[in-house]
Structure 1
Amino acid sequence: MTCPVYLYPQPRSYTSSGESFPSAAQFELKASGPKAARFAEQTGVKERLEASLQAAASVMEGIAPSVQAVVEVQEGLHPQGYVVEWNVNGLRLASSTAQGLHYALLTAAQMIEGQRGYATWLHCLIEDEPDYPVRGVMLDIGRNKIPKMETLFAFIDLLSGMKINHLQLYTEGFSFNYSKYAELFPGETPMTADEYRELDIYAKARYIDLVPNQNCLGHMGPWLAKPEFRDLAEHPDGLPAPAPLPFKLPPMTLNPLDERSIALVQDMFDALLPNFSSEYVNINMDEPFGLGTGASKERADEIGVGALYLDYAKQVFDIARSHGMKTLMWGDVLAHHPEIVKHLPEDVTVLHWNYDAPVPFEPRCKMLQENGIPFYVCPGTSSWSSISGRTDNMLGNIADAAQTGKTYGAGGFIVADWGDAGHWQALPISYPGFAYAAGASWQTETNIDRLLPFEYHVAMRMLQDRSGGGAKLLLEMGRYYHLERSTMENMTYTSHLMNRGLSDRAKLEREMEIMVDVFRMLGGSGKPFRLDYRYSEMEDWLRARRMELDCLELAGADADILRDELVNTLLLIEQGAGLHKYIYRQALPDVPSEIAWLEQLEEQLELATAEFKRLWLVRNREGGLTASTAAFAKLLNQYSERLQELNNQS
């Protein structure tokens, strides 16, 4: 029998005779021995089974008044593996660890919930274990958006329900309260040490390893923008773009030879790491743009950029070890300097990231395997720089990561949810990415192609949508980029256009070619900019999505907020489409029509901005909101100025 759609992630093995046994009204708990009893106590078996029955409660004739639930220790099972069996003897839960029993309970709860209202439950035997021992999510809190604690608690519960066991909150800027430097970052609302300790305990109780995270070489722009730290930069006066580009990029990378750089990193980690029980820390060290071309050029010319990078990295490894932690780090620099890979210490695990579905994971996975380097694969949700996601890129990227990582022996799988370009995506926009990654990393071949259970889980559990259409809506909301027919990389044209602001067609297309050169400098493919925007089809698309949204039956505690977030997401996409229409002067033949369209855009963006700010503050802290909405404010000002010009002309 095919595994029911209500089980997610889909298990390794599901068998059923097709027979059934009367549903339970309550369970009589029995542990097979002292160890099983200890596991049952640790995981709260009694309370969780009772909660599952209450959540699926229905009064129906034929329901057995009390059914035995047996907890067994089955040595030899995978440490995270389990067995769930339901038949005439009742419920059997077997595992070799408390963590395995935790996962058995999650599956049992889904089995009970999925047969809500039925007088009998199907006999079944579920034997399950993960393909990846580490299955993680990295949530960006370093770019503008830092969730409130209640949001993080709820987020951990969502992840736990999908058997995710690793969580990082990506940190750059002042998203953690380094009290020694707090006066340099007024107005920020960072995570505190006490909050991380509380979150660590909460996550650990749900078998999630909360791993500290802090970038410490590249991505240091917010620190290097301060006069107190600017001279620590590799390029204190900015990184020159390649000729003939006539500008500089702001300082982003620390000078690895300046002793004050590693002293700052030491201060950061000494404040951050004691708040975590994890044995790992992610030091990141990705994208150190301009490394070896500024203050450290002489040394780089002498020993090579790769060796320069590794010498600095070894100092950070030592800081991690001083706190009893092993190191995780991104692998992009290693890929460009493979000569240093063999010099990595054994306690370093490389995170191989790639967020573009057409780019295969295989070459770098193969290189890491051949060099005996422990590594994880790290795809993305594709939600950032998009407003509502890029669904098909997400699905392809995650599936490739899971299959290739499994082939080449990756020890873990982490899906990243970044906050580039204002962090405009509402959290639920990333739900499909989180859920698909959870399934792909639990049992890869079982979950990557069978989408109905994935859609069921997103709709019924994450969105709590009784109509069942919520997942399909989110997936379709992430497909508007196909109507742009743009060559933009790692973003949508609409998102970029709204960040760019008002322009004319010739200027926009000229600047897009410059941007291609900048992206090439930063590691992009450098594909020439192309655009074949389908505006009328976008109008039809927006109408269809709004009709689907009206049909949702959201029943969760955040139902009203969730609906409003999706409404405003569509409004922002409509704003971007309207901005494109104006820049390309589509069906705007004269000044009066131009004025009327700009007035409509201005009114729409004022509404969307006000709603964006309101919704932001429901789930997130205030710090970062002004920066996130700066592009909206700029665009509104441009609308006002252009309207004044046109009105003066007329």
Structure 2
Amino acid sequence: MNLLPKVKHMEVRAGFLAKKVICPDVDGMDRRLAAALEKLPCDAAGTKLKIHVSGHGGEGYELIIGEAYIEISAESSAGAFYAIQTLRQLLREEQVPCLQIRDWPDFAYRGFYHDVTRGKIPKVETIKKLVDNMAYYKMNSLQLYVEHVFEFQETKALWKSAGYLTKAEMQEIDAYCRENFIDFVPSLSTFGHLHDLLEQEQYKHLRVFQGEERLPNFWDARMHHHTIDPLNPESFEVIKSLIDQYAPCFSSEYFNICCDETFDLKCYGEKGYDVGRLYVDFVKKIVDYVQKKGKKVMMWADIVSEHPETIAELPDDIWFLNWHYGDDAEGIREDVEKFSMSGKSQIVCPGTSSWNRFCEKTDRAEMNITQMIGNGYRCGALGVLNTNWGDWGNIGSLELGMYSMVLGAGKSWAADTEPDKAFYGMVNSLLYGAEDGVRALKAVSALQDRIKWTQVCKNYFLHRYNNGEGMEFLSGDEVQAIQREYLKISGELSGESWGNDEYRRELLLAAEGVCVMAELSAKLAGYGLERVSNTEEWLCKYREKWLEKNKASELYRIEELFLYYEQKACRAV
């Protein structure tokens, strides 16, 4: 049977469920459970389904299926909701055996973190579909990464060029999450990663680093020199204003203040300041302000890990988000163990490895997610926050990060989950509705491995603006290998139809995009290769798919790059 996450205990009994149509008893039921039951095949003549909720704590449940009845007993409404998700998956089977399932999660916090700041802002309906997926795989927390893409008054001048989410949209997402037993936690940059805010003329004086003008490579520039000055009293006033505008959109009791990668504080270190002291003093002010609003604080753990002497000064009830995105098993183990020895609460944060790409990097994601969550479980972490970043324009679709999301969901519920043949089969059935969906994903992932989006971008900025490092190109043989592999993938996928066919369509578009990248790079290098893709045709499809699911955001930047390559590029001298 295809069940994700896998269940803790299942006893299969004699006989089979006679009718896979359900007649639930909804009298007095939590309305959220009644809504969840509507996703089951229901009929007044169907199998009787009774749900008993014993309390308000815990997420465990028991599911019993007989030939003519179904019973759910749960510790809370959330537990009953997860039992319904298990039942939804069971009813997909050709025959449902009589059985008893007892199940509960290994981690209390099971979250997904999605970047909406770096170029692509999803529409509300896209986020709702993400929430549906998360609920199906028993996740219980969502965070959206926000720097400037909200209707902050301080960033009003950026709304037209970058796009933004409104208060009403955030509140709509919050309400939808609550209906699906998902806590929508606000996540806001409040110390580092404030580049676009601080690039505005009226706020430039609040940057720690004052020695650099705007670079043509906006994607790279956004990742550097983005720390607000903790010694300028105006800085905290700006941060308070951002929090005041953002916090009311959310019903969650938590608030993620981020405070990661405050690189530019080294400028003060060069002047003799204690960087750890500067950091922790400003963070304590932010923490105190958020706590006075009745919120519990989350924050990234990277800087306190660099300055362990400061962590004791921060309140014990902070949840520290300990991130590591590489595939170094020993490094991951050391990071998780080291933080566990601090005595502070940690959430382990792996990643989908989908940034800087059209398609998630499956080999690294599998290694990273399994190692981070496995070590987190061993070291007593409170939970998991699987991250989906959007560096360098967020060119990939949300669908092509979902395999890694599902792996994180499965392993955060059942920590012994591994990305093995059995897991692939369940993903093929439940996520893709295809016999070989995972194999196709891995083929496109391997194709993307052959050419780096970041290098394509750097070549563009150097050629167009004479800005950046030297160009690097694939060889003609490497480009031809990409063409051959693309044609193979395209030929196979074009002849298929999946149960969840949007994943197949996105894989086709991603594979074609990789081929376009390679061929345009060959053109810039002066190779005389015959093309098998068409830039403008692909870009038209890419734009249509983007706007179907997202706001325009910074799509124009990606279009400018590809059209420049197509129309202007010639051999660099």
TM-score by length of 2: 0.90
Name the SS for the 1:16 alignment partner.
Answer: strand
Give the Cα separation in 1 of the matches to 2:522 and 2:390.
27
Cα shift readout 1:41-85 (whole Å, capped 9, x = no counterpart): 34434x64464125xx9xxxxxx954332323457x971111111
Larger radius of gyration: 1
Does residue 41 of structure 1 match 2:37?
no
C-alpha spacing 1:148/1:66, structure 2 compared with 1 (3 Å): closer
Name the SS for the 2:257 alignment partner.
Answer: strand
Unaligned runs of 5+ in 1: 31-36, 58-63, 242-246, 485-492, 514-528, 589-593, 646-650
How far the C-alpha of 1:617 sits from its partner, in A, is 0.7
| Aligned equivalent of 1:285, options 259, 265, 283 | 259
- 2:422 maps to 452
CA contact (8 A) 1:130 1:443 kept: yes
After superposition, residues 59-70 of structure 1 pair within 5 angstroms as: 66-70=46-50
CA contact (8 A) 2:359 2:396 kept: yes
Residue identity matched to 1:496: T
Name the SS for the 2:344 alignment partner.
Answer: coil
Give the Cα separation in 1 of the matches to 2:63 and 2:53.
12
- 1:93 maps to 72
Name the SS for the 1:228 alignment partner.
Answer: helix
- 1:337 maps to 307
C-alpha spacing 1:538/1:188, structure 2 compared with 1 (3 Å): closer
- 1:624 maps to 554
Residue identity matched to 1:627: R
C-alpha spacing 1:538/1:11, structure 2 compared with 1 (3 Å): same
C-alpha spacing 1:391/1:110, structure 2 compared with 1 (3 Å): same
- 2:356 maps to 385
Give the Cα separation in 2 of the matches to 1:146 and 1:248.
16
Cα shift readout 1:453-472 (whole Å, capped 9, x = no counterpart): 45534x44444x4x433333
How far the C-alpha of 1:573 sits from its partner, in A, is 0.7
- 1:495 maps to 453
C-alpha spacing 1:410/1:630, structure 2 compared with 1 (3 Å): farther
Does residue 53 of structure 1 match 2:41?
yes
- 2:496 maps to 552
Does residue 154 of structure 1 match 2:129?
yes
How far the C-alpha of 1:227 sits from its partner, in A, is 1.0
How far the C-alpha of 1:228 sits from its partner, in A, is 0.9
CA contact (8 A) 1:237 1:250 kept: no
Give the Cα separation in 1 of the matches to 2:517 and 2:452.
5
CA contact (8 A) 1:279 1:326 kept: yes
CA contact (8 A) 1:8 1:454 kept: no
C-alpha spacing 1:533/1:203, structure 2 compared with 1 (3 Å): farther
Does residue 110 of structure 1 match 2:89?
yes
| Aligned equivalent of 2:19, options 20, 23, 48 | 23
How far the C-alpha of 1:322 sits from its partner, in A, is 2.3
- 1:478 maps to 445
C-alpha spacing 1:460/1:309, structure 2 compared with 1 (3 Å): same
| Aligned equivalent of 1:355, options 313, 325, 336 | 325
Does residue 207 of structure 1 match 2:181?
yes
- 2:341 maps to 370
C-alpha spacing 1:343/1:576, structure 2 compared with 1 (3 Å): same
Name the SS for the 1:22 alignment partner.
Answer: coil
Residue identity matched to 1:546: S
How far the C-alpha of 1:127 sits from its partner, in A, is 1.0
How far the C-alpha of 1:270 sits from its partner, in A, is 0.2
How far the C-alpha of 1:21 sits from its partner, in A, is 3.9
- 1:316 maps to 286
Does residue 411 of structure 1 match 2:399?
no
CA contact (8 A) 1:239 1:251 kept: no
- 1:166 maps to 141
| Aligned equivalent of 1:220, options 169, 194, 201 | 194
Name the SS for the 2:261 alignment partner.
Answer: coil
CA contact (8 A) 2:254 2:296 kept: yes
Does residue 137 of structure 1 match 2:117?
no
Residue identity matched to 1:318: D
C-alpha spacing 1:192/1:152, structure 2 compared with 1 (3 Å): same
How far the C-alpha of 1:93 sits from its partner, in A, is 0.4
Residue identity matched to 2:109: V
CA contact (8 A) 1:151 1:620 kept: yes
How far the C-alpha of 1:563 sits from its partner, in A, is 4.9
Give the Cα separation in 2 of the matches to 1:134 and 1:22.
37
Give the Cα separation in 2 of the matches to 1:551 and 1:157.
29
Name the SS for the 2:41 alignment partner.
Answer: helix
Name the SS for the 1:316 alignment partner.
Answer: helix
CA contact (8 A) 2:320 2:344 kept: yes
| Aligned equivalent of 1:434, options 389, 405, 409 | 405
Give the Cα separation in 2 of the matches to 1:281 and 1:161.
25
CA contact (8 A) 1:328 1:350 kept: yes
Give the Cα separation in 2 of the matches to 1:617 and 1:111.
35
Name the SS for the 1:135 alignment partner.
Answer: strand
CA contact (8 A) 1:381 1:434 kept: yes
- 1:525 maps to none
CA contact (8 A) 1:456 1:471 kept: no
How far the C-alpha of 1:615 sits from its partner, in A, is 1.6
Cα shift readout 1:520-547 (whole Å, capped 9, x = no counterpart): xxxxxxxxx9999844543342233213
- 1:9 maps to 5
Name the SS for the 2:227 alignment partner.
Answer: coil
- 1:615 maps to 545
CA contact (8 A) 1:145 1:620 kept: yes
Cα shift readout 1:475-504 (whole Å, capped 9, x = no counterpart): 32112255x3xxxxxxxx421232123689
Name the SS for the 1:14 alignment partner.
Answer: strand
Give the Cα separation in 1 of the matches to 2:38 and 2:299.
42
Name the SS for the 1:375 alignment partner.
Answer: strand
Q: CA RMSD in A?
A: 3.3
After superposition, residues 70-81 of structure 1 pair within 5 angstroms as: 70-73=50-53, 79-81=58-60
Name the SS for the 2:534 alignment partner.
Answer: helix
Give the Cα separation in 2 of the matches to 1:391 and 1:382.
7
CA contact (8 A) 2:225 2:263 kept: no
Does residue 175 of structure 1 match 2:117?
no
Give the Cα separation in 2 of the matches to 1:261 and 1:530.
45
- 1:33 maps to none
Name the SS for the 1:19 alignment partner.
Answer: strand
CA contact (8 A) 1:497 1:576 kept: no
CA contact (8 A) 2:22 2:40 kept: no
- 2:218 maps to none
CA contact (8 A) 1:254 1:261 kept: yes
Name the SS for the 1:44 alignment partner.
Answer: helix
